[in-house]
Structure 1
Amino acid sequence: MVKIYSTPDCSWCKKTKSYLKSKNVEFVDVNVGADLEQREEMFKLSNQKAVPVLNVDGKIVLGFDKAKIDELIKDLVVQ
């Protein structure tokens, strides 16, 4: 499962979500600006307060790190 912690006005979050969609990867989008519980979860998982943060089956990606995202989603891509 892919979960992206994001905020609505974050341009890197939008790019990350668009990239995942272009790869046909399903994901859960969590607005940490509105959901304090999820924000705390993001902090605990990543030690980061910046978005986007991706959780790909328990592996954390900070920011729009395309190479790392590609490595982690290769088995999740729907053909």
Structure 2
Amino acid sequence: MKNVKLYTQPACPPCEFVKNYFQMHGVKYELLNIKENQAARNELINEHGSMSTPTIVIDGEVIIGFEQERIDELLDLSSSKMKD
């Protein structure tokens, strides 16, 4: 199973979109709210070089924002699976 982290914060519509996308595909992930969790915010900035949400980390690969093709590639999802 892939290690997936989603860095988010309140009032972030793109974050909600990613959560819904993951749910639709049955992706298990760790949700890290950077407004409530200072350690998560520090990790996001210092380890992943991001100050934006959503930031997704899949097995160490950082995706800033919702990049569906990259997410699908890293999680072995494909549009053909959605059609089945």
What percentage of residue pairs aligned between the two structures are identical?
28
* Greater C-alpha Rg: 2
Whole-angstrom CA distance in 1 between matches of 2:24 and 2:61: 21
For structure 1, the 5+ residue unaligned runs are none
Written as runs of structure 1 = structure 2, the 5 A alignment for 1:60-79 is: 60-74=62-76
Equivalences, count: 75
In the TM superposition, residue 5 of structure 1 has moved relative to its aligned partner by 0.3
SS in 1 for 2:7: strand
Residue of structure 2 aligned with 1:43, choices 42, 45, 51: 45
Query: Could you tell me which residue of structure 1 aligns to residue 82 of structure 2?
Result: none
SS in 2 for 1:3: strand
In the TM superposition, residue 32 of structure 1 has moved relative to its aligned partner by 0.4
2:67 maps to a residue whose letter is D
Residue of structure 2 aligned with 1:33, choices 32, 35, 38: 35
Give the TM-score, by structure 1 length. 0.88
Query: Could you tell me which residue of structure 1 aligns to residue 80 of structure 2?
Result: none
Higher RCO, 1 vs 2 (CA within 8 Å, ≥6 residues apart): 1
Whole-angstrom CA distance in 1 between matches of 2:76 and 2:21: 13
Whole-angstrom CA distance in 2 between matches of 1:70 and 1:19: 10
For structure 2, the 5+ residue unaligned runs are 78-84
Query: Could you tell me which residue of structure 2 aligns to residue 3 of structure 1?
Result: 5
